[in-house]
Amino acid sequence: MSEHIHISPSLMTMDLDQFKEQITFLNDHVDSFHIDIMDGHFVPNLSLSPWFIEQTRKLTHKEMSAHLMVTDPTFWVQQLIDIKCEVICMPAENINGIAFRLIDQIHAAGLKAGVVLNPETPVRDILPYIDMLDKVTIMTVDPGFAGQRFLVRMLDKITELRALREEHGYHYLIEMDGSTNKAHWKVIHDSNPDIYVIGRSGLFNLANNIHSSWEMMVAEFESATGQKFA
């Protein structure tokens, strides 16, 4: 039995010297692209930007999902609205007091609003506005850098979010982000997220070209889960 898997490659971890080749190939295989935007304050790293999304848009019409790791979400949300980034996912830890306004602002622009829960942040923190969300991203690693330790207990949040969605009829998608690779495919798949963010260890570093890396990723998924990848 084949199973459609919504893969969202993390472009922070791609090989920039193969940028066009990788995007062109992935256009035919993925549902969306995941863009990490870090300001050097919320996490001690700098990463991609709205400008990067604009450049990538020249090569793809796939959905772009921005993952904000920033101390001033208001500043970045407006920039992403201006370039019509389809999904804007904000740090739950930094939108207390402005969550309703920012979600309304994103929806008024015809875009999708999401939040990201870092490992220490419980689902209960977003309950006041969870019914308004289009996506909830669960971090299964500490944010800010590739290659962090996988935190398996964070998968319990996916189960919790799925139960809340079924009970109340919420419409958000559940995304997991962090260390999606051969070692963890089985336990991640069992937790049943809607979207898998995948980066260096699960895709881009598996081979020296994106075609072979993709084939290896699919083989690892099928071997670990017993499901056919479609």
Mean pLDDT score, 119-147: 92
Where does the pLDDT of residue 148 fall: very low under 50, low under 70, confident under 90, or very high at 90 and above? confident
pLDDT at 144 over 70: no
Domain count, the chain: 1
User: Given 36, 82, 104, 194, which residue is catalytic?
Assistant: 36
pTM over 0.75: yes
CATH assignment at residue 24: 3.20.20.70
Express each pLDDT in 78-125 by its tens digit. Answer: 999 999 999 999 999 999 999 999 999 999 999 999 999 999 999 999
177 is annotated as an active-site residue: yes
Q: Band the pLDDT of 143: cuts 50, 70, 90.
A: confident
Per-residue pLDDT tens for 53-80?
A: 999 999 999 999 999 999 999 999 999 9
Could you tell me the residue range of the domain that residue 194 belongs to? 2-229
Residue-level pLDDT at 147: 63
List 39, 104, 177, 190, catalytic entry: 177
- For the four alpha carbons of 76, 78, 82 and 87, in that order, the dihedral sign comes to positive
pLDDT value, residue 149: 85
The answer to whether 36 is a known catalytic residue is yes
